[in-house]
Amino acid sequence: MRRYSAWALWREGLRGHAGWDRAWTSPLPKPRYEVVVVGAGGHGLATAYYLGKNFGITDVAVVEKGWLGGGNTGRNTTIIRSNYLQDPSAAIYEKSRSLYETLSQELNYNIMFSPRGVMMLAQTEHEVRGYRRTAEANALQGVQTEFIGPERVKELCPIIHIEGPRYPVLGALWQPRGGTARHDAVAWGYARACSDMGMDIIEQCEVTGIDSAGGAVTGVRTTRGAIGCNKLAIVVAGHSSVLAEMAGFRLPIESLPLQALVSEPIKPCMDVVVMANTVHGYMSQSDKGEMVIGGGTDGYNAYTQRGSFHHIEETVRALCETFPIISRLRMLRQWGGIVDMTGDRSPIISRTPLGNCFVNCGWGTGGFKAIPGSGWAMAELVAKGAPGPLAAPFGLERFREGRFIDESVAAGVAH
């Protein structure tokens, strides 16, 4: 595939942009592949990419029931951070964040990674203690974060009202190399690289059944015919339990709607990401000028990509309190995704009761930031049939053994 460069842009500009290749091809499915990955979200595509890049496995199909990146990957608020409490989490999220630093160059695709800094506000004494503890844990884990006072918060983000009526800002956990990236570009960049390696990305192809014999998967049934495979990777976020049921096992996952909204675009007024977990809302400003806003999950399980109206009201109320400047902004768009939540708010990257079937899910409200690291770890699991150091703690057996990786503080509310 022809590389993107300033020179290529100039050349194509002279000839009406007629010479660009398609970023990825849309072939018909072949009868059989070495690996079938179900789900062309960021995690599925990253899994395919690192299978090719790290293990030389390119006989891979990524099958997607809708359009590429149309699940949570194209619906999230794009926050990237690695300031988690537990060591296994810090390891995989920091691996991911560090891969993001150079992903545009690696994929030759501008994913618009913007390490503008992420702050998580402490608005109660309990949060102050919690975030101080996380900062200490991060120091031991080699993750660069610090606990900052309210004056520094105001300096970094002047539009915050630090003396709020209900919950004044008492400080924040600050990660200077956290930030954002353009979500769909991450999916597109991985897809282009996978296609370039000869992999098939098959959209509008829903998996409707999983065939197995002798304790192993033999293939999948899809709306575009049967596809055989030697290994199956299920990477479908909110639909993980549905696919697991097809394969004949159960997952400790609940699917919940989570929604976000953006305002009309305004002039630049905020160049950091702010998360306010006590009042429950978070905000950043996109490169287009829109204020990107998110809140919490709905209080009931569902498969809608919409979310309930009262959540919008609660989220906007929380943010108006924290950022009075936005109180007269008009909202432009609202949408939802179906997030896959585990009890300990940590992901599952695991073998399953079927020998050649692997599952990657449970990223819940915070898996965008994990896409490169998760793909890296999942590819190793699929290629070797056993987890490497990044994935090992996240196996399904932890639920049976009571060995939870409790991230309810770092991930239960925030993103």
Ligand X SMILES: Cc1cc2nc3c(=O)[nH]c(=O)nc-3n(C[C@H](O)[C@H](O)[C@H](O)COP(=O)(O)OP(=O)(O)OC[C@H]3O[C@@H](n4cnc5c(N)ncnc54)[C@H](O)[C@@H]3O)c2cc1C
Is residue 44 a contact residue for ligand X (CB under 6 A)? yes
239 counts as binding ligand X under rule CB under 6 A: yes
Judged by CB under 6 A, does residue 285 bind ligand X? Answer: no
Q: How many CB atoms lie within 10 A of CB 56?
A: 9
- 126, 153, 408 from 412: Cα distances, Å: 15, 23, 4
Task: Write out the binding residues for ligand X, residues 357-386 only, by CB under 6 A.
Answer: 363, 365-369
The reply on whether position 41 binds ligand X by CB under 6 A is yes
Which CB sits closer to ligand X, 40 or 153?
40
Q: Which residue(s) pair with 37 in the sheet?
A: 62, 233
Q: Which is nearer to ligand X, 311 or 398 (CB)?
A: 311
Separation between Cα atoms, residue 316 and residue 369, nearest integer Å:
24
Site mask for ligand X (CB under 6 A), range 191-230, x = bound:
---------------xx-----------------------
User: What angle separates helix 87-101 from helix 125-141, to the nearest 10 degrees?
Assistant: 70
Q: Please tell me the distance from the alpha carbon of residue 136 to that of residue 50, in angstroms, as a whole number.
A: 32
What is the distance between the alpha carbons of residues 276 and 169, in angstroms, rounded to a whole number? 9
- Contact (Cβ atoms closer than 8 angstroms) between residue 192 and residue 199: no
Beta bridge partners of 180: 79, 114
Is 263 near ligand X (CB under 6 A)? Answer: no
Size of the site for ligand X (CB under 6 A): 40
Closest CB to ligand X among residues 38, 143:
38
Stretch that binds ligand X, among 35-43, 116-124, 171-179, 262-270 (CB under 6 A): 35-43
Segment near ligand X (CB under 6 A); pick from 38-46, 189-197, 315-323, 386-394: 38-46
Alpha carbons within 13 A on the beta-carbon side of 361: 32
**Cα–Cα dist 301/327, whole Å:** 31
Please, which residues bridge with residue 60 across strands?
35
In terms of CB distance, is 73 or 322 closer to ligand X?
73
- Taking the CA atoms of residue 118, residue 123, residue 129 and residue 130 in that order, the dihedral angle to the nearest 10 degrees is -50
Q: Which of 51, 60, 79, 172 binds ligand X (CB under 6 A)?
A: 79
Residue 65 binds to ligand X (criterion: CB under 6 A): yes
Which of 24, 29, 64, 277 is the binder for ligand X (CB under 6 A)?
64
**Residue 43 contacts ligand X per CB under 6 A:** yes
117 binds ligand X (CB under 6 A): no
- Of residues 174 and 363, the one with the C-beta less far from ligand X: 363
Edge-to-edge strands of the sheet including 254-263? 146-148, 171-175, 118-122, 273-276, 281-285, 291-297, 254-263, 331-341
At closest approach, how far in Å is the CB of 246 from ligand X?
8
Binding of ligand X by 237 (CB under 6 A): yes
Task: Tell me how far apart the alpha carbons of residues 304 and 4 are, in angstroms, rounded to a whole number.
Answer: 37
Q: What sign does the CA torsion over 292, 297, 303, 304 have?
A: negative
* Site for ligand X contains 188 (CB under 6 A): no
**Does residue 73 bind ligand X (CB under 6 A)?**
yes
**Residue 363 beta carbon to ligand X: minimum distance, rounded to whole angstroms:** 4
* Binders of ligand X in range 312-351 (CB under 6 A): 337, 339
Q: Which residues bind ligand X (CB under 6 A)?
A: 38-44, 63-66, 70-73, 75-79, 206-207, 235-237, 239, 243, 258-260, 294, 337, 339, 363, 365-369, 415
